[in-house]
Amino acid sequence: MDTSDPRQERPPPKRGPPPAAPQAPRDHLVWAIFNTLYMNFCCLGFVALAFAVKARDRKVSGDVEAAQHFSSKARCYNALATAGSVLLPLLLGALIVTGVIHLSKLAQESVGFFTYQFSGSDDEDQ
């Protein structure tokens, strides 16, 4: 008679990540909507929104390759819109600050010029 436990004879099942299935690409739709509504620099946010919608349509229809293509374009235009909308106001602010500093120095020099005392000997008048 066999008294061994059958559960001990089988190897335990392997636990790990499931086999990798091809992932559908991200469509970046939320980022494109944000760029379109809040930071629409040179209409790049709208272009990104158009490509994001195309990527989502292709993903739903099952065309993964076209969805990946439109997704990468949407990501590129989103990055450009975000960079332009963040960097240009920073550049404008820096130009305003340096202009104010330059004008304040110029004003100080002109005040010094106009407060110069023309006193002393009046040799030229005699």
CB contact set of 108 (below 8 Å; sequence gap of 6+): none
pLDDT digits (tens, 9 = 90+) for 8-38: 666 666 676 665 556 778 889 999 999 999 8
CB contact set of 77 (below 8 Å; sequence gap of 6+): 32, 44, 45, 47, 48, 51
103 domain residue, yes or no: yes
pLDDT digits (tens, 9 = 90+) for 100-124: 999 999 888 887 777 765 555 555 5
For residues 47 and 39, what is the distance between their CA atoms, to the nearest angstrom?
12
79 domain residue, yes or no: no
15 domain residue, yes or no: no
Supply the mean pLDDT for the chain. 83
Domain extent for 108? 93-119
For residues 27 and 31, what is the distance between their CA atoms, to the nearest angstrom?
9
Query: How many domains does the chain divide into?
Result: 1
